Every structure is written in C-alpha cells, then in structure tokens.
Structure 1
Amino acid sequence: MRCRYLQGMQISAQERAATRPSRFAIGTRTWSVVRLVGALAILAAVTHQLIVTVGNALAATTPYGSHIPTVVANFLSFFTIESNISAAIVLIVAAIWGLRVAGGPSEADPVEPRALAILLACVSTYMIVTGIVYNLLLRGIELPQGSTVVWANEMMHVVGPVLLLADVLLAPRRRCLGWGVLGIVAAFPIVWAVYTLIRANLVISPRTGETGWYPYPFLDPTHVPGGYLGVSGYIVGIAVAILTVGAGVIWLSRRRGR
C-alpha cells in the first residue's frame, strides 16, 4: 500500500484545518505530554537500576567484582538498556516538537520531520522486540546486572514497550515512511550483536572473574546447546522478529501517516 499522499489524496493545509482543527491540536499536545512523562519514567527506571548495580559493585569483595568501569560498561551493553535510553531521548525530542507545533497556527498542520519519524520507527521496533524477547525467553532469569529492581524491570520490559506500541498506533502527525527505512531499523541490532560477541571474550565477568561476559544467556555459547551454532539460531530468530516488527511499524506509518 502506498502512502496516502501518493494516492491523489493530498489536500491543502486550509482544508485539513477546516476538517480537524481543535481535536488534532489537543491530541498533539496531550500525546506530547504522554511521551514526556513516559520518557522520564523510563530514564528513572534505568537510573535506579544503574544505582543499584553500581552499589552492588562497590560492596563486592573481589577486584573483578568491584571494577566500576567494567560494571558500568556491562550495564550499558544490554540491548534493553540501550533501547530504553534511546527511546527516552527520542520521545523527549518528539514531545518537544509536538508541544511546539501544537501551540502554533492550526492551518500549518505539519507532520513529524522525516528524521524524527525514522528515529521513532527504530526505537519503537527495538522496544517492542525487547518486550517480546524478555517476556518469552528471559522472564524469571536473573540477568548479570546486579540485583534486579522490580519496578524498573517492569518499566523497561513491559510498560516501556507498551508505550512505544501505543505511540505507533495512536500518536498524531505521523509521517508515511518508505520501505527502505527497514534497513535503517535493522542496522543497530546487527552492530550490537557483532559488538557483543566480540567484546564477550575480551571482558572479565564481574561475577566469576573469568573471561567471557554475555548480557543474555542465549548468547553464551558455553550455555546454549550447540555452542555458536545454537547462538546463531537465537540471533537469526531475533533478527526475524526485528524485521517483522519493523515492517509492521513501517506499514502502520504508511496506513496512518501523510
């Protein structure tokens, strides 16, 4: 399905304003506040978990367990953490943009900038996949980031992903994206997977003192049946999930956007 403005449905700004002036503006302002509050809650969750993780490291009695630079680097190497931080930043930018245009003349009726639309598509995909993977594969498993903060864990793995899904479905002023954006969406997870597998054998685990630190058990060839072949299977499965969710996000932008 092509974007609506490519289907001969483009209308003037005055006509758009005449059909939906106040509701559109109120929706933009309201959703911008939702985005801002959600972003701040996500950042609070990440910060609380980081404080607890660093606190555990400071209380550790071994040199490898108390090495703060490694502990912090490991914390920031979780796909969940990177996705949540990125999502919060993009949501804040989107909220600021939305509040600015909502306060402007209704006849302007702009859609979100292309760069912002692409960033929203990326972080929405990553957060939705984070929620799916965690709740299907990792719930109930203690991850190597120190003691889990329950509310922060739920915020990053459930509430945050649901918020980004709602953003895809409900946010006003969405831009129609081309299918080529799917390649941009897939770029970061590929880089992250390569980085993680290379870095793993260069890092000493703060828990064991041995070389080989993996943020998630399904990436550790010493624990996955089949070794690296088994790990490859998980990576392919997650890649399919990212491409599928990313395609869905883009498809919705083409249905809803202009």
Structure 2
Amino acid sequence: MLLAPPARFCAAATAVLAFLALAMKYAVAVSETGGTLPDIVWSLARYFTILTNALVLAVFGYMALTGRRIGDRLAAGLVVWIMAVGLVYRLLLAELWEPRGLEYLADLGVHTVVPLAVLGWWLAFAGTARLWWLDPVIWLAWPLAYLAYALARAGVDGIYPYPFLDPGRLSSTQLVWNVARLMEGFAAAGYVLLGLARLRLRLLWRAKRAQASRPGSSSR
C-alpha cells in the first residue's frame, strides 16, 4: 500500500533524524577514540540503542524512498522497540553519566527525539489493521535476538554493553532476573501499545462515521 504524501514526508523526516543521531554518535566516537570507520561501527553495533535506531533508519528510509507502507505489525513492533530504548535509558542508565556538547545532542537524539518521532508517525499515519493479542509476545523476538547476540559477542571480547547484563558484576541469578524483567517490560510495553492501537482504531472509526454523517457528505 502506498503512503500519502504527508506520511511519506514525515517518514523521510524521521529517517533523517535517525541518521543525524547516529552520525553524531559516530562523530563522538571518532573524537574519543580516533578509530577507523570499521572499528567504530563495530564498537557501536554492540548496543541495542544503536541497532534499533539503525533499524528505524532502514525502515523509515525504505518508506521514504519507495513510498510504500510497511506492515502494521512491524510498524507497531518498531514503536515498542524504540520507545523501550528511551524508557530503559531514562530508568536505568541516564544517571550513570552526564554527556555534554555533541555527546549530549547525540544522546538526546537516539534516546528521545527518534523514539518520539517514531511514536508520532505511528499515531498519525499507521495502518488500521487490528493487531493480534499475541503480537506483543511476537515482538519479543528482536530484544531476545539482541540479547543472544550481545551475550555471545561479550563472551568473545569480554565487553558487556550494559551493566545490567554484565556477569562480572552480577550473579547468575541476578543476570537471569534482569533478563526476565527486561522481557516483562517489553511485553508490558507491547500490551500498552496494543491497547493504544485499539483505542486509536476506535477513534478513527468514530471520526469516519461522523464525517460520513455530515450534511452533503457522500457515502460512496
């Protein structure tokens, strides 16, 4: 299904925001490490935040370039994943450091601006297909895949991306507990979005019915 011009324009704007946020993250890494492009990209790819923002860039860039809408379930799942980026950061990580200058702008971009842009696009332009009650469970596939990747990679190079996943700081029980709580959080966010999607759909139907009942409107 093709996107209406406003939806396509806003998709392009969201893709640009994601690109700028990731570019600033890259620039900060260059200034701090002086590493090569492959080294820095590989280092940044350790983080769920970076990978999910890159996924936003890919998905919204695709919509902007092709003018085609992605599936409603993928769009909703992407909202859950990128909003989780912001929520986990604010709840667990924000107090661990105080970014300044370009680092602050990059941090603001990947954790706040891009998540809000994706949510705004979804609220305004997402399709109207009814989501299934098991969709929030299906949406766990991305964070679970990331966890498997992050832990396997850390098992090789010894660098854990987040303190709540570091077995050097945590007991096995604490690590399992943290992973379980994270998955519970993702699932809860998914069900909140599912409720929001149904409310949104109901409001759209009411608006359509109200418009059809206006004098002079056509039912065709």
TM-score, structure 2 normalization: 0.77
- Structure 1 position 192 matched with structure 2 position 146: yes
Q: What's the secondary structure of 2:133's corresponding residue?
A: coil
Of 173-182 and 193-202, more deviation after overlay is shown by 173-182
- Structure 1 position 150 matched with structure 2 position 104: yes
Q: What's the secondary structure of 1:196's corresponding residue?
A: helix
1:136-180 deviation per Cα after TM superposition (whole angstroms, max 9, x unaligned): 11003249xxx9721111011011112222233332543322233
Unpaired runs of 5+ residues, structure 2, are: 206-220
* Displacement of 1:229: 1.7
Alignment-derived partner of residue 130 in structure 2: 176
The percentage of counterpart residues that share the same residue type is: 25
Q: Which amino acid aligns with 1:253?
A: A
For the Cα contact (< 8 Å) 2:83–2:116, is it kept in 1? yes
Q: 1:124 aligns with which of 79, 84, 88?
A: 79
- Runs of 4+ in structure 1 deviating by more than 6 angstroms, as ranges, are none
- Structure 1 position 214 matched with structure 2 position 160: yes
Alignment of 1:32-111 (within 5 A): 32-58=8-34, 69=38, 71-96=40-65
1:47-105 deviation per Cα after TM superposition (whole angstroms, max 9, x unaligned): 221133134333xxxxxxx58755432311200001111112222333456x57xxxxx
Task: Measure the CA separation in 2 of the matches of 1:96 and 1:252.
Answer: 28
Alignment-derived partner of residue 241 in structure 1: 185
Bigger Rg, structure 1 or 2:
1
For the Cα contact (< 8 Å) 2:56–2:78, is it kept in 1? yes
* Displacement of 1:228: 2.5
Task: Measure the CA separation in 2 of the matches of 1:133 and 1:197.
Answer: 18
Q: 1:229 aligns with which of 162, 169, 173?
A: 173
Higher RCO (CA 8 Å, separation ≥ 6 residues): 1
Task: Measure the CA separation in 2 of the matches of 1:67 and 1:39.
Answer: 25
For the Cα contact (< 8 Å) 1:218–1:234, is it kept in 2? yes
How many residue pairs match? The answer is: 199
The change in CA–CA distance for 1:96 and 1:69 in structure 2 (over 3 A counts) is closer
Q: What's the secondary structure of 2:96's corresponding residue?
A: coil
Task: Measure the CA separation in 1 of the matches of 2:120 and 2:168.
Answer: 38
Q: 2:115 aligns with which of 161, 174, 179?
A: 161
Q: Which amino acid aligns with 1:163?
A: A
* Displacement of 1:187: 0.6
Structure number having the greater helix percentage: 2
For the Cα contact (< 8 Å) 2:11–2:60, is it kept in 1? yes
